[in-house]
Chains A and B, each alone.
Chain A
Amino acid sequence: MARVVFTSHLQRHVACPESDVSGATVAQALAAVFQQSPQVRDYVLDEQGHVRRHVHIYVDGRRISDRQRLSDTVLPTSQIYILQALSGG
């Protein structure tokens, strides 16, 4: 099971506890997360299903490259971090 961890900044807006999910891609892993916590989806993805512009997703220390289809590979041992980009004032 891959582990999914959310930035604490998101916890202020919506409950998103760490979770262990299965899935071979980021899309599949996130789908499992959103099944448990449907309200989290709109904070991470936009209405076209793309990663929001100021959100970054890391898998095992590497930023994912496919922000539209979320096809980056996830292993059963992977750590997936969902972070906010630094922006604004």
Chain B
Amino acid sequence: MSDRLLVGTRKGLFTVEKQSARWTLREPAFLGDPVTAVLARDGGNTIHAALNLGHFGVKMRRSRDAGKTWEEQAAPAYPPQPENAPGPAWKLVQVWTLENGGSDEPGVLWAGTIPGGLFRSNDDGDTWSLVRPLWEHPQRAEWMGGGYDAPGMHSVCVDPRDSRRVSVAVSTGGVWQTRDRGETWALRASGMRAEYMPPDQQGNPLVQDVHRMVACRGNPDVMWVQHHNGVFRSTDGAQSWTEIKTAALSAFGFAVAVDPNDANTAWFVPAVKDEKRVPVNAQLAVTRTRDGGRTFEVLREGLPGEPAYDLIYRHGLDIDVAGQRLAFGSTTGGLWISENRGDSWRCVSAHLPPIAAVRFVS
């Protein structure tokens, strides 16, 4: 089980550690600077953090000593933009997600970004390259912004059985998959439904607003998606998706986590769609299915009893490598941890800056 949690916030990178049965906040790194994505490996000795300095652009920081010291590294950069290139400017707006490559490719990192580019590093973040076949795919021009002005890639799933096979999700642009480490790509969002589109477009895989996509580590063909208007599940490695219509409280939300050892168990933090984006009836709750989406439980023990308006963003929910501990953080600075798979929760802090991402160290 993981005893350390990294929390990327609007005002810095916080670390929470379990010591003597208590979860304790440590001094933050980068206090005052927005942290949009964070990634650890080697038991937390190596940490990558993506900062978005607003005025001065996106910056990458790496620690090789568990966060004691940090060094600046190159940020992903788009190549020169050809004249009249369609779509958004070829300028990095935000690093939205960071993932490690497979266990057979140490030093490989993937970064999903706004305005939609996928970047790969082969040298632990010293240098980055845009994955051009996907960026230059003709259908990329049809991706749209979802919450931001430009499209964004927020989920990267590397198949633990085959590192060449990578699935990514775009808001909005569906799910894309490569089986050759990025050389060729196929759209994989069949079965999703976009109720906000005109009727004849609702089933178009290219317009699907996936909010977050995760894959079960122990059974990677099972993937879960929290979508703008529903929950979807694939059992064939994203070849096809089935809508889960039994989701409790609301079909809307951003975050999803899947048990690494049990593909039938997944957690969500639903919200009132779509214009409001607050907990249903102002009662913060996590939902859990343990039977592949046939039924859902509502988990509230330890969560606020009073009205709460916490919204959980797409990287704001995580599960540890053992599948026992979960954590989630909100846009109003609340952070909760469960040590029993969501049955009960403990508030670590209700006063953090707005939380973009939580990540257990493993």
Task: Give B contacts to A, CB under 8 Å.
Answer: 53-57, 59, 72, 75, 77-81, 89-92
Contact = CB atoms under 8 A, between A and B. Distances in A.
Interface string A57-84: 0000000000000000000000000001
Given A39-B72, A42-B75, A48 B90 contact: yes
Contact of A47 (B54, B55, B72, B78): B78
A48 B59 contact: no
A interface, over-half SS: loop
A85 to B, nearest CB: 7
A87 interface: yes
B80 A48 contact: yes
* Most chain A CB atoms below 10 A, which of B56, B77, B80, B81: B56
**In the complex, the 7 A-B pairs of residues with the closest C-beta atoms, listed nearest first:** A47-B77, A43-B56, A84-B55, A54-B55, A46-B91, A88-B54, A47-B78
A10 B77 contact: no
20 contacts: A10-B56, A13-B53, A13-B59, A42-B77, A43-B53, A43-B57, A46-B57, A46-B91, A47-B77, A47-B78, A47-B79, A47-B90, A48-B89, A48-B91, A50-B91, A52-B55, A55-B56, A84-B56, A87-B54, A87-B55
A55 B72 CA distance: 21
A44 B55 CA distance: 8
Contacts of A39: 72
Nearest to B72: A39
Nearest to B89: A48
Nearest to B53: A13
Nearest to A46: B91
Query: How many A residues are at the interface, by size bracket?
Result: 10 to 19
Given A47-B77, A47-B78, A48-B81, A13 B56 contact: yes
Interface of A: 9-10, 13-14, 39, 42-44, 46-48, 50, 52, 54-55, 84-85, 87-88
A9 B81 CA distance: 30
B54 to A, nearest CB: 5
A52 B57 contact: yes
Contacts of B91: 46-48, 50
Nearest to A47: B77
Contacts of B57: 42-43, 46, 52
B238 to A, nearest CB: 31
B267 to A, nearest CB: 31
Given A42-B75, A47-B77, A52-B55, 18 more contacts: A13-B56, A13-B59, A42-B59, A42-B77, A43-B56, A43-B57, A46-B57, A46-B92, A47-B79, A47-B92, A48-B80, A48-B90, A48-B91, A54-B54, A55-B55, A55-B56, A85-B55, A87-B55
Nearest to B75: A42
B349 to A, nearest CB: 20
A41 B72 CA distance: 14
* Most chain A CB atoms below 10 A, which of B57, B72, B80, B92: B57
Contacts of B81: 48
A84 B55 CA distance: 6
B148 to A, nearest CB: 14
Contacts of A88: 54-55
A42 B128 CA distance: 15
A87 B53 CA distance: 11
A42 B92 CA distance: 11
B53 to A, nearest CB: 7
Contacts of A54: 54-55
A70 to B, nearest CB: 16
